[in-house]
Amino acid sequence: MLKVLLVDDEPFILQGIKVIIDWEKEGFEIAATAENGLEALEYLKKEKVDLIIADIRMPGMTGLELLEQIRREEISDAYFVILSGYAEFDYARRAMQNKCTEYLLKPVDRETLLKLLHKVRALSDRERQESKAHEEMEHAYFSRHLISLIHGKYDDVNLNYVKKHMKDTQGIRYVEIQKEQPNNLEEQSDKDLRNFQRELYDCCREFLKEDAKHCVFDVSADEKIYDIGFVYSENLAERLGMDDKTYLSAFRQYLVNNTKQPVIMLVGKKVPDISNVARSYGNACMLRSFQGFRARKEIYYYEDEVQVTAAGMVLCKQGLDQLLTTIEQNNHMEIRKAVEQFYEEMSQMGMNAESMNLNINYLLFQLIHLASEQDNDVNQEEILRLISESSFENGILRGSKVHMARFACEYGDYLSQLRKNVSRGVLGMVEKEIKENYAANLTLKGLSEKYYVNSAYLGQLFRKKYGLSFKDYLNNFRMEQAAGLLIRTDKKIVQIAEEVGYHDLDYFVNRFIQVKGCTPARFRKQMQQGS
């Protein structure tokens, strides 16, 4: 309902306007009446309305003076309608210079008033839509700057913009929010996970209300992680008389209640201000890898999970060396035994998360070294990314013994294939598969299983030949097909997106911009103008 303030010194005029139409039926509510401009001014200083209908001549303060003052002092941006007699016609027209929406001649009849309300409703709807679009654009622009800070890749432009547009930037924690993945949960499709991610994001913004800027969609930008980033500030809790843990617990419970899904939070260590948020983000990423080592919780706090002591930093070198040997030999049975022994050793030693991290990092470093021994051109950074994804994937299961054993066996296969150098034949078959079935749900894992090749190794082949990951190669190929359809056909963009394999239009448009430098619509227009 749009709220209305009626201002007139003649009571029968006020009463007549109130009863001449069914205000509620038209989507309006008479919030208050005032006998003069001064009384109306005092009301507007305390309450917000959407429409003011005021007589032009009143004792103390005229309607025109009321209009001028509320605009000059920015007391109200409500739509303003002047009531005037015939003798005041020219006088009323001057009010239009002060953002007066309309003026009505007295006496006001029913049809004239209805026409006015329909006009105000239309103006309100249009402004609301424009405001929403502008707000969404501003939020997206802000998020880009904030993500730069979160990833630790920022300059003064990013930092100053965030500080200017974020109210609370002190006492910061980075919080990763995601759906919990229980052990018995069947694997969900990317589409389902993406849909839930968007639902979770909307719920986060609803909870935060005017602080919605603290919430960021898809911070990790990783195909296996469907996260929401939340930059917590201690002031958010203090305003509600809460401490950090009480506030975050309430936030999480709200998300669970509204999504009807289990949700977990990974909370980084508190840092002084927003410029240090990357440190807290790193803490949350570490917690992500440790979930499988620890008891299941609703909220993981870095301070509780990682207790660094000199005595606690122990390297299980004998167990690790045995595991590395079995991986190099690619004996799956022995690999599983070695993983079992390694985890048992860590458990018996009562290791904290930081010590576990040391051991896992040592293992990954040695695995990279083994790959380098087989192929001098191997991309170490790419290998680290691939093996990290393989060993710690699927939410709560990350870091579990089962997944480590599976990863170790897969890496053994990868090393074996490096030695055999089977790259040419396999890569040719996969390239043909992409050309013929690019619109299908092709994944590196699915193709590797189809052609009996390790997924990490297949990813390496694409990186070596094209300088791109498999995912980027597939996306680029799809974009070329989309570009061709944009030029050759008049199909709608949403239809083209579906035909080349994208069911999420926003994701398709963003990918197209990344590859072609402009939106699909602009690309089509440019090509048409060029021809």
SS (H, E, C) 392-420: CCCHHHCCCHHHHHHHHHHHHHHHHHHHH
Query: In this predicted structure, what is the pLDDT of residue 310?
Result: 42
Instruction: Let me know whether 180 and 251 are in one domain.
Output: yes
Q: What is the pLDDT along the chain (531 residues), one digit of tens a residue?
A: 899 999 999 888 889 999 999 999 999 999 999 999 999 999 999 999 999 999 988 888 988 889 989 988 999 989 999 888 765 656 656 655 557 888 888 888 899 999 999 999 999 988 888 877 777 787 788 888 999 999 888 889 989 999 988 888 899 999 999 887 654 444 567 788 888 999 999 999 999 998 988 999 888 766 567 889 999 999 999 999 999 999 999 999 999 999 999 999 999 989 999 999 988 888 887 777 655 545 578 898 887 765 444 444 566 777 788 888 898 888 899 999 998 888 887 777 666 666 676 677 677 767 776 776 555 455 555 565 555 555 444 433 445 678 788 888 888 887 777 666 544 567 778 888 888 888 888 888 888 778 767 777 777 777 777 778 888 888 889 999 999 899 889 899 999 999 999 888 888 898 898 888 899 988 888 887 765
Query: In this predicted structure, what is the pLDDT of residue 95?
Result: 57
Query: In this predicted structure, what is the pLDDT of residue 422?
Result: 47
Query: In this predicted structure, what is the pLDDT of residue 185?
Result: 42
The shares of helix, strand and coil residues in the chain, as percent rounded to the nearest 5, are: 65, 10, 25
In which element (H, E) is residue 102 found? strand 102-105
Q: Which domain holds residue 365?
A: 317-421
Instruction: Let me know whether 171 and 210 are in one domain.
Output: yes
Residue 233: which residues within 8 A CB-CB, separation 6 or more?
168, 169, 170, 171, 172, 214
Q: Is residue 433 part of a domain?
A: no
Instruction: Let me know whether 167 and 284 are in one domain.
Output: yes
Query: In this predicted structure, what is the pLDDT of residue 89?
Result: 59
Query: In this predicted structure, what is the pLDDT of residue 445?
Result: 82
CATH number of domain containing 101: 3.40.50.2300
Query: Which of 284, 305, 326 delimits the end of a domain?
Result: 305
Q: How far apart are CA 372 and CA 328, in angstroms?
A: 12
Q: Is residue 98 part of a domain?
A: yes
Domain count within the chain: 4
Q: Based on DSSP, count helices (H) and strands (E) in the chain, helices before strands.
A: 23, 11
Instruction: Let me know whether 288 and 365 are in one domain.
Output: no
> For residue 53, which phi and psi values (nearest 5 degrees)?
-115, 115
Q: Is residue 431 part of a domain?
A: no
